[in-house]
Amino acid sequence: MTRPAAALHPLSLTPFGAVHKPPEPRRGSASLADIILGGQDGLVNTLGVILGVAAASSDPRIVLAAGFAAAFAESISMSAVAYTSTLADHDHYRVELERERREIREMPRAEEQEVRTIFVNWGFAGDLLERAVAQVIKSEEAWVEVMMRNELKLAPIEASNALRIALVVGVSAIIGSFIPLLPFLLLPIGPAVPTALALSALALFGLGAYKARVTVGVPSRSGLQLAAIGIVSALAGYFIGALFHAPVTP
C-alpha cells in the first residue's frame, strides 16, 4: 500500500496575512481521502485474493479463510503505513523548517531575494513589491512561513494526528474488504464471483463519484476510472488463480 507523500493539515492565517493560497493543504476533505484510500485498497486487494482463490478452489471455506485473512492483514498493514508515513512527513517538515530558519539567519540577502521572486510571480511590482517584501522579512516567523509554503511547498503536519489517521485508514480498509466478501458469505462460489465483481464495481464507482463531487472533477468520470482500475487489478488475481485451478475429482 502506497500512501500519498504529502498528506497535509489545514493552515491558519500567517503572520503576514492571507496574501497567498496555501499549496496543497490538508483540507477538510483529508479524512475523506483517508477513507477512500483505506476503503479502495481494502476492497481491491481482498477482491483480488478471494477471486484468485475461488478460481483455484471450489471450497468456500478456503475462499472465506483467504478473504478474511487478506482483509485483516491489509487493514493492519495500511494502518501501520499510514501511522509511520504521517510521522515521517512531520519529521521531514521539522527538518526543513529548521534548515530554512538557519538559511535566513546565515544568508538573509539571498533569502530576501527569494521572497521577492515569489512576490513577483504573484504579480507584485514597484513600490508595492518592496513594501510587501519589507513587511515579510520584519518577522522571522512570517519569513519562514512564506518560504516553507511557496519555495518548498510544505505545510505543517501534526504528529498527534498520526493515530487518528491510522485508525481511519484501517477501519476503512476493513469496511471495504467486507464488500467483496459478503456475496461469498451468502451465495455459492459460482454466483458469488460475478456478484462480488458487480458489488465492488458499484462501490468503487460511488467512492470515485463522491470524491469528485466534494473535491474537484467530473463525478461520472471519476467513478468510472476508479471502478475500472479496481476491477482490472482484482481480475489479475482471478486469472492467476485460474492457472492453479484443480479439477474436482469424483
215-239: per-residue pLDDT in tens?
777 888 888 988 888 888 888 888 8
Q: Residue 142 above 60 pLDDT?
A: yes
Let me know: does 89 contact 6? Beta carbons within 8 Å. yes
**Closest among 35, 72, 4, 70 to 172, alpha carbons compared:** 35
Let me know: does 25 contact 215? Beta carbons within 8 Å. no
Four-residue CA torsion sign, 132, 136, 142, 146:
positive
**Closest among 146, 1, 155 to 84, alpha carbons compared:** 1
Euclidean distance between CA atoms 79 and 76, whole angstroms: 5
Instruction: Check residue 72 and give its pLDDT.
Output: 92
Q: Residue 249 above 90 pLDDT?
A: no
State the chain's mean pLDDT as an integer.
81
Q: Residue 198 above 80 pLDDT?
A: yes
Q: How many CA atoms lie within 13 A of 63 on its CB side?
A: 30
Instruction: Check residue 247 and give its pLDDT.
Output: 58
Q: Residue 19 above 50 pLDDT?
A: no
Instruction: Check residue 179 and give its pLDDT.
Output: 92
Using alpha carbons only, what angle is made at residue 228 by residues 32 and 51, rounded to the nearest 5 degrees? Answer: 100
Percentage of the chain lying above the pLDDT 90 cut: 14
Residue 217 burial (10 A CB sphere; 0-12, 13-18, 19+): middle
